Every structure is written in structure tokens, then in C-alpha cells.
Amino acid sequence: MKKIINDPNQVVQDMVDGLIAANPDSLKQVPNTFVVARADAPVAGKVALVSGGGSGHEPAHAGYIGKGMLDAAVCGEVFTSPTPDQVLEGIKAVDSGNGVLLVIKNYTGDVLNFEMAAELAEAEGIQVEKVIVNDDVAVEDSSFTTGRRGIAGTVFVHKIAGAKADSGAKLEAVKAVANKVVTNVRSMGIALTPCTVPAAGKPSFTLEDHEMEIGMGIHGEPGIDRTSIASADEIATTLTEKVLEDFDFSGEVAVLVNGLGATPEMELYIMNKKLHEILSERGIKIYRTYVGEYMTSLEMAGCSVSLLKLDDELKELLDAESTAPAFRS
């Protein structure tokens, strides 16, 4: 295991300390938790957004904390859902009395624990709503999930619901636009290499030197096919066609070409070239393109493609101000 860490069982604590040290003016740690919040939380008069999940997907989710995006991120152990009490602490740290929206990636552990936290918070008089993101079209059920998994498309939910909350909208309206994003976003990825959870010390699976896995999840969950490594153009075609088959994207879209951790930015741009050609051929207009590492799997090599169908409301919210370190607009 080649990692720049100290104690493999302390990586989340060390990471949170380093993250706060890097952003002392904009972020704070909720004492005795792995909850990271806006330094100025709770923000008066505003619906608060809380997300999170297992660590190892950085910059998701703490990198998306800032004006116009998340109010808090709850950091679980690597690839492990945070406990309900941690999520509850996140909710309590950011609620200004205007309610809290939980943005949950669809993994069984996350859904259970965030829902339990919501019940606990409601028992304390906090209004809580939730949206569940399930953008990955690769498989219907998976080792971590009932139903489709939530992957990089989640970042669009953070951005757009965050902008809506920042505009002063009420909880129901923030939830509604978050659900509109969930309805309109689809993603799919491939992996070239596995990754190693620090406390495990070895990869959870292997891929041969010539192999890639199509539709692999962001925790290494099985995909739909294992093949020889295809060209960038073939990979872009496979992923984009599967995404386009699943939903009618005619009109205008935002594109996210996401690196899983070890893939050079060069390769993501090479993917993006073909993606633009495919969408152009189909008459789909690209409003914005995001290329980079938005939702990773530690040092996994690979990428995912997300498409979000836009309307005027979503375009305006996508372009609204964000001060989050990992999504500056």
C-alpha cells in the first residue's frame, strides 16, 4: 500500500484537521465530530444543506461547503456511512430555524443513517427534508445499494439546491429543485485500477493489466462488463450512449467529466473531446462543461460521465455564486 498517511485508522481525523487548517476562515469542525461546516453556520434566514457519506471521495463532500452550496458535510470513515449521531450533529450545527435538506447518495447505509438522523432531529424540533441521488445508470442494484447508486451527479444537486437555498427559498422549494436535478441527471463510469482502503491495506479487487471494468461503482462495486481497455473514444461512446438511452436529454445539458482519483486531467479532456462530438451529432446543446476530480474513489484510475438536462431555472442556479473550494463559480 503506497499512501501518504500516518495511522491507517486515523486518516479521516487527520484529513479533517488538515482541511480546517487550510480553510480557517471559511470552515469549522463541529467539536468531537467529523462534521465540517461553514464557519458562519448557522446562516440566519437560510435553509441549510447537509450532505456527506463515507470518506475517500474527496473533494466530495467537504470541498463543496461554502456560500451557495453545502452548509455542512458529515465525513464517515473511508467508504463507510457516518453514524446517525454524527449526521444529527451536522444538522444541529447548521439549522437556523429554517429547516435542513439532506442530500444523500443512494447507498443503503447512508440512506438508513441519514434517515435515522432526520427522525432524531425532528424529535428535537428541527424541520428536515431529504433527497436521494441515484444517478448511476450502470446497474439497478449493487453490493452497497438497493436501486441505482449515487455518484458524481450528486455535485449538481449540491450546486443547484445550494444556490436555491442561498436565494432565500423555503425548504419545500429547495427540496423541489433538488429533486428536479435528481430527475434530470444521469451518470456512468469505468475503472482501470482498484483502490485501497487504508485500514484494509490491500485492494478490494483486482483488474488485469489489460482490463477495465465498465459501470464500476465508486467503492469498487461490480459494474456490468469487464473488457480489454478500449480507446478514449470508445469509452466515451459507451458511457454516453448508456446515459443517453436512459433519459431524454434533447435540449440543453451540463456535462461533468469526472476523474476517479489517479486519472490525469489530460485523459479527462481527451474524453471530453469525444463527448462533445457525440452530443453535437445528436443535436444536444452543451451549456457548461466541468472537467476534473469532483467525486473520487481514493486513487482509483478511471472516470465517469454525467449529463444534467437544464432549463432556465437550473441554468441560473448552476451559474449562481459559489465560494466552495472545489466548485468556484
Stretch that binds a second copy, among 46-54, 66-74, 132-140, 227-235 (CB under 8 A): 227-235
Task: Give dist(CA 146, CA 219) in Å, integer.
Answer: 15
Give the sheet arrangement for strand 100-105, strand by strand. Answer: 27-29, 35-38, 72-78, 48-55, 100-105, 128-133
18 near a second copy (CB under 8 A): yes
SS3 label, residue 317: helix
Q: Could you give the string, one character per residue 164-203, with x where binding to a second copy holds by CB under 8 A and - elsewhere? A: ----------------------------xx----------
204 near a second copy (CB under 8 A): no
Residue 66's region, left for phi above 0, alpha for psi from -120 to 50, else beta, is: left
19 near a second copy (CB under 8 A): yes
Residue found under cell 437544464: 310
Chosen residue from 51, 142, 258, 263 binding a second copy by CB under 8 A? 263
The strand pair at 185-191 and 211-214 is best described as: antiparallel
Task: Give dist(CA 137, CA 88) in Å, integer.
Answer: 30
265 near a second copy (CB under 8 A): yes
Closer by beta carbon to a second copy, 173 or else 230 = 230
15 near a second copy (CB under 8 A): yes
Give yes or no for a contact between 75 and 62, defined as CB atoms under 8 angstroms apart. Answer: yes
220 near a second copy (CB under 8 A): no
SS3 label, residue 215: coil
Quick one: cell of 174? 429547495
Give yes or no for a contact between 278 and 40, defined as CB atoms under 8 angstroms apart. Answer: no
Closer by beta carbon to a second copy, 115 or else 267 = 267
Q: Kindly identify the residues of this chain, within the stretch 90-129, that bind a second copy according to CB under 8 A.
A: none
5 near a second copy (CB under 8 A): yes
Q: In angstroms, give the least distance from the CB of 326 to a second copy.
A: 8
Q: Which amino acid is at 168?
A: G
Active-site positions? Answer: 57, 219
SS3 label, residue 97: coil
Residue found under cell 437550473: 314
Q: In angstroms, give the least distance from the CB of 15 to a second copy.
A: 5
Identify the helix (H) or strand (E) that includes residue 292. Answer: strand 285-292
328 near a second copy (CB under 8 A): yes
Closer by beta carbon to a second copy, 209 or else 281 = 209
Q: Please state the φ and ψ torsions of residue 182, each to the nearest 5 degrees.
A: -60, -40
Q: Could you give the string, one character per residue 55-84, with x where binding to a second copy holds by CB under 8 A and - elsewhere? A: xx-xx---x---------------------
Neighbours of 278 (CB within 10 A): 17
Please report, as ranges, the residues that interact with a second copy according to CB under 8 A: 2-6, 11, 14-19, 21-23, 55-56, 58-59, 63, 192-193, 209, 212, 229, 231-233, 235, 255, 257, 261-273, 276, 289-291, 293, 296, 298-299, 301-303, 328
